């Protein structure tokens, strides 16, 4: 069993890297992710993360003792690198308490929060020095890892078959248990139950994830001294509005290391926008109420543009004569048009009649080295929950398993991605110099980089793979 695998922050937290489609709606900040073994058993939400192409997750986290030593070593190294004028912890704590009253309170008051609610929420709050990405006063922000030192991994590493099977089995059991609730939610919002349950499982292990942190403490710490202070300050003000509005007490507001709340892992801004009371008890409870949690996920998707009656997408086979350099949401065309090129579902089934006139988009996350897809706009709605192609594919595949007993994607993921990001970065710069639009020049092969590479390969008389590999480095100059 894979016990400790890293989580990655959702697309609702600012992401680095990749040339992805811009979000379909604004204000989409909600949370980060617990990780679970194949059995679906809860693993504590972890403060570490990895990164692969498309801004996804990396390798296995160290076990507890090793993890503690790793964090200690990192802390020592960070401590040695601090400038001489860095303040002591007692000094910073004192400055933090002053900041709460002289900086945060005026803003909270201006936004309509009462003094009593503010005082009750911040009473006894201290800095949590164990959180990642902290920049104490007098310290320099950590430098980004050099491109030459960072690798991106194969997309296939993201799709653990054992883990997907475990989540699907638990998901089917819980779908049957909550069938009546899911039918009501689907009637109300038009989102299939299996999609909701898949997100529920991926985000919090169907509500079993441990939420060990005080959300107010986490948000206050990060608003005061982190690499993204402005974003966390907005989330902290929203959390204070939750307390002031009577949603729950500050003590009951438990979350992850990034301040993500409850079973859907909403950030406070998303809670205020999307959380619903579906069980009719007068409270929006995404911690204890399964109906509220599931309906809140559905409400989020609907308000992000979910199209009722459409699937998320289809695994397909793209004929050899059809270029893979046609992917991306900005190159959508009717699915019937894709079909006329010879693109067909791997299942052998025809595309649904209702989809033939509707828009579809090519998606080849590993180029010709892995599964190929025609996705619908609902795929990009899933990316609103986490701005990653692989996350949305994970949710789609898990939902299919829950609803239809499906399995792994038909095509295998190739052994790709063993390149340094600096090498991919050099390829991107070379493509830009030749007039190609690769999106963000960041060393990560998003869809614009992949299709630009495919176009260049075709014009250069090379096999078109739409994915970077070491053999292309010398040729692309």
For 313-404, CATH gives 1.10.530.10
pLDDT digits (tens), the chain, 477 positions: 333 333 333 434 433 233 333 333 333 444 433 333 333 333 333 332 222 222 222 222 333 343 344 444 444 444 434 444 568 999 999 999 999 999 999 999 999 999 999 999 999 999 999 999 999 998 888 765 555 555 667 888 899 999 999 999 999 999 999 999 999 999 999 999 999 999 999 999 999 999 999 999 999 999 999 999 999 999 999 999 999 999 999 999 999 999 999 999 999 999 999 999 999 999 999 999 999 999 999 999 999 999 999 999 999 999 999 999 999 999 999 999 999 999 999 999 999 998 999 999 999 999 999 999 999 999 999 999 999 999 999 999 999 999 999 999 999 999 887 788 899 999 999 999 999 999 999 998 999 999 999 999 999 999 999 999 988 988 998
Contacts of 104 (CB under 8 A, 6+ apart): 122, 220, 223, 233, 236
Residue 147, CA atoms < 13 Å, CB-side half-sphere: 14
- Going from N- to C-terminal start, the domains of the chain cover 313-404, 419-472
Alpha carbon distance 361, 330 (integer Å): 8
Query: Taking Cα atoms as reference points, which of 168, 146, 189, 153 lies closest to residue 50?
Result: 153
**Coil, strand, or helix at residue 13?**
coil
Task: Tell me if 207 sits within 8 A of 200, measured CB to CB.
Answer: yes
* Residue 235 neighbours by CB distance under 10 Å: 29
pTM of this structure: 0.84
**DSSP code string of 427-443:** HHHHHHHTT---SS-SS
Partnered with residue 226 across adjacent β-strands are 134
Name residue 266's beta-bridge partners.
261
Could you give the dihedral angle defined by the CA atoms of residues 377, 380, 381 and 383, in that order, rounded to the nearest 10 degrees? 170
| Beta partners for residue 419, in sequence order | 152
3-state helix, strand, coil in the chain (%, to 5): 45, 5, 50
């Amino acid at each position: 069993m894979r016990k400790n695998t890293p989580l990655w922050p959702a697309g609702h937290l600012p992401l680095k890297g990749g040339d992805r489609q811009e979000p379909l709606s604004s204000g989409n900040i909600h949370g980060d992710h617990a990780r679970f073994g194949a059995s679906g058993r809860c693993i504590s939400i972890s403060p570490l993360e990895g990164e692969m192409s498309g801004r996804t997750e990396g390798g296995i986290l160290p076990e507890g003792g090793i993890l503690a030593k790793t964090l200690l070593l990192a802390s020592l190294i960070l401590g040695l690198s601090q400038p001489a004028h860095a303040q002591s912890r007692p000094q910073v704590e004192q400055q933090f308490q002053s900041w709460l009253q002289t900086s945060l309170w005026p803003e909270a008051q201006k936004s309509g929060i009462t003094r009593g609610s503010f005082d009750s929420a911040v009473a006894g709050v201290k800095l949590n020095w164990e959180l990642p990405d902290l920049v104490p006063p007098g310290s320099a922000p950590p430098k980004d890892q050099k491109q030459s030192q960072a690798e991106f991994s194969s997309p296939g590493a993201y799709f653990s078959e054992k883990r997907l099977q475990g989540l699907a089995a638990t998901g089917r059991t819980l779908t049957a248990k909550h069938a009546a609730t899911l039918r009501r939610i689907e009637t109300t919002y038009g989102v299939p139950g299996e999609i909701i349950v898949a997100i529920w499982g991926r985000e919090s292990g169907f509500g079993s994830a441990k939420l060990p942190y005080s959300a107010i403490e986490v948000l206050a710490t990060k608003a005061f001294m982190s690499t993204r202070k402005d974003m966390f300050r907005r989330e902290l003000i929203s959390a204070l509005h939750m307390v002031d509005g009577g949603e729950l007490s500050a003590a009951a507001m438990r979350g992850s290391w990034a301040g993500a709340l409850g079973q859907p892992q909403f950030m406070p801004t998303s809670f205020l926008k999307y959380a619903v009371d579906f069980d009719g008890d007068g409270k929006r409870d995404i911690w204890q109420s399964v109906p509220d949690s599931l309906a809140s996920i559905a409400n989020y998707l609907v308000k992000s543009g979910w199209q009722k009656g459409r699937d998320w997408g289809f695994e397909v086979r793209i004929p050899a004569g059809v270029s893979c350099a046609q992917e991306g949401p900005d190159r959508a065309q009717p699915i019937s048009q894709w079909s006329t090129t010879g693109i067909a579902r791997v299942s052998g089934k025809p595309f649904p009649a209702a989809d033939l006139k509707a828009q579809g988009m090519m998606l080849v996350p590993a180029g010709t080295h892995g599964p190929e897809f025609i996705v619908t706009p609902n795929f990009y709605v899933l990316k609103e929950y986490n701005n990653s192609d692989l996350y949305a594919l994970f949710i789609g595949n898990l939902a299919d398993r829950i609803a239809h007993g499906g399995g792994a994607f038909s095509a295998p993921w190739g052994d790709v991605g063993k390149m340094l990001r600096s090498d991919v970065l050099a390829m991107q710069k070379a493509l830009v110099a030749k007039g190609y639009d690769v999106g963000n020049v960041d060393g990560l092969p998003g869809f614009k980089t992949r299709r630009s590479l495919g176009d260049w390969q075709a014009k250069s008389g090379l096999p078109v793979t739409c994915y970077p590999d070491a053999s292309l480095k010398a040729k692309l100059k």
